[in-house]
Structure 1
């Protein structure tokens, strides 16, 4: 970008801000307006992005450690998909600071100079309109492409971003893929956007499963929209839901705290899903106990009679030898009161 191009960008920003209706028509224009009116920024300012010191960066990572751990496999796969295209990947907290980064080593110097590095502060208040900061304010996926950025020093970048929500449905940060390659046209950016959106949902799902480890996790029945996961306890009460599931089924923290039956939210379509989940739990317990029902009951923390009823209701079959043994045991248990009564009568 030439100096005249930079000057033209600044002029374009100031000219658009004279149009009072522009902010209503365009999210970018609304962000430019916030950059000037709310944050007092100048598009021609050339100072590099602010950065956290090591202590503050370390603290921020500790605060986000469960989500960062859940994200690592997805970040690695995403790098395999876009790394050779001159892209870098940033996973930020909700304060707009990248806490994890992936990129090809040969591109590191360029991205470091641009501030696309861990610890940099990419809020709108600091950097004006940009992928990370504007995504966090808007709360939705977006691309800030080249001269849509506020600062002239950033107009060579194309940044595609998706928000990431934690296991409680709260905004936790965002996933950004940025490139400074001139051949990254809007067609390429659209493909990157699809990959970023899919990766963000995978990170949310991994974090949700990690947060509710050991609990039944079900996919919502309404066509399986990506990310619509719910956590259900032994009493078939909802104890957790991803943001997508909350939006689809009207799940709130208040309804969860009050004790929300899964069927009341998801309807009859839930029954089959719950049965499948319960069947898997019972089968795994039987396998661990070598087919022994009493042992499996101890593993599950239920009575032997309760487990037998579950086995019958779920349509499970024991191996032939175990079935013979269990039937004999049941007959002995059933006959015990009769024998005791007969013995008492003789005495």
Structure 2
């Protein structure tokens, strides 16, 4: 059902709003809030684009209650955060509330509203950063939808917002794609890859795990060892990701690295068991960047490794013939020169 909703090319306003609603649903679940809404700012008026958790309450009523705060963020161009207080009986909303402006290239496009934590707690600094990044990406999607005739670019930017929401569902993966993209782009430049290849690598890194939206949360967050059946399901996420991006003809260069970022040079990777020269260089770069970030960030089963510890693990993989030596040596040179 999720993949069906995502996998439509943006041919109408209805398709765009369906994706915006999916982003909101994902964010509401990831940040453990009860209610959320996204508003656009058009002709000096706010319009409701998506709501989640407001059962039995009309869009008009939601806008009426939230509009004073939305007007404030439009005027001030900054977030409005109301901390958790005791809920009064009869209120249709209760703190904590966050109103975040959608701003792209200094233009105001609307606002995101999230409220009522499931456990009553306030938003953490980490969660506020997630909401900031997500709001920025939604604003870019709104801008593209309104100003650009490039439907595929609009779809790409909207899916990028969805990728951020998907990543927020797991506290251990938050910021992962951004870091992988940064590492991969730096490696690519040191390897003197072309601008086109570097841009493809950067965009693929942003979306390399988008396929995880098709995998159940309980499986992604499982702390113990995966069963064979569970591992088989997890191994499908690169294929799901490829299928989500397939409608985008102008982004076809991203399909290979997204599908094959878990392939290994000795053929032991997935989903296709590619070997050696069957794996292009940009995909090898993405693989190394992905592994490096996984090693150097905290996981449910271990603490984050230091750069030196990560280097030892990567060297083992090189010696086993699994990852590209030239790419790894380039990464090591950057680590030694403190260029990451």
- Report TM bin, short chain: 0.3 to 0.5
If the length of structure 2 is used for normalisation, what is the TM-score? 0.34
- Compare relative contact order (CA 8 Å, sep 6+) and give the higher one, 1 or 2: 2
